[in-house]
Copies of this chain bind each other. A is one copy, B any other.
Amino acid sequence: MALGKDYVAQDCALARALELLGERWTLLIVRDAFYGVRRYGDFLAHLDIPRAVLAARLQALVDAGVLDRRPYQESPRRHEYVLTERGRELWPALNALGHWGGEYLSPAGPTRLYTHLPCGTRVGRTGTCAACGRFARPEELEVRPGPGADRPHRDDPVSRALRRPHRLLEPLLTE
């Protein structure tokens, strides 16, 4: 938020997390990173976010160690943004918020469904796999559109790629 009167006086771990993650767009960027989005242009196409804001948020997430900015090609040099271990640790929070939104704010049901790949079981609200009892790590999850994923609102290449079932954190294939 980086305002004059920050959350700093709050002396609270949640406040510190929100100082970074509570800004508009930031958690949606992180969500997209879990879905495999890695490039500036892909975030831009999928989120309809102002370019300046996207640049600022990516920078903040890199500074906080949530994303790693690393080259994916030389000549011309281009970079991609990939979740670090610290960033991947945000999965439980994102999962919990998403499930809450699915349960209480999505009349048509969840917009996405998650399958725990090692045992093929659908994962519930808590993020725990009913079959094996463990909390599902994001690398072990496959996403696919759920019943609440209504009429295809968006038709950019990134949204189309995200509608295909795919494993979390796997880089997006936008042909």
Q: Are B93's CB and A96's CB within 8 A?
A: yes
The number of times this chain is found in the oligomer is 2
Asked whether any CB of chain B lies closer than 8 Å to the CB of A149, the reply is yes
Q: Are A86's CB and B104's CB within 8 A?
A: yes
Q: Are A16's CB and B106's CB within 8 A?
A: yes
One digit per residue, 1 when the CB lies within 8 angstroms of any chain B CB and 0 when it does not, for chain A 26-43 equals 011001000000000000
Q: Are B98's CB and A17's CB within 8 A?
A: yes
Q: Are B104's CB and A100's CB within 8 A?
A: no
Q: Report the separation of the CA atoms of residues A47 and B8 in the bound assembly, to the nearest whole angstrom.
A: 11
Asked whether any CB of chain B lies closer than 8 Å to the CB of A102, the reply is yes
Residues 8-34 of A contacting B (Cβ, < 8 Å): 9-22, 24, 27-28, 31
One digit per residue, 1 when the CB lies within 8 angstroms of any chain B CB and 0 when it does not, for chain A 83-118 equals 000100110111111111111111000111000000
Q: Are A100's CB and B105's CB within 8 A?
A: no
Q: Are A27's CB and B22's CB within 8 A?
A: yes
Report the minimum CB–CB distance from A130 to chain B (whole Å): 13
Asked whether any CB of chain B lies closer than 8 Å to the CB of A48, the reply is yes
The 9 closest A-B pairs by CB, nearest first: A17-B101, A13-B102, A93-B96, A13-B101, A14-B98, A16-B105, A92-B96, A16-B101, A93-B97
Excluding A10-B28, A12-B111, A17-B100, 9 further A-B contacts by CB distance (< 8 Å) are A10-B47, A11-B153, A12-B112, A13-B102, A13-B110, A14-B31, A86-B104, A92-B92, A92-B96
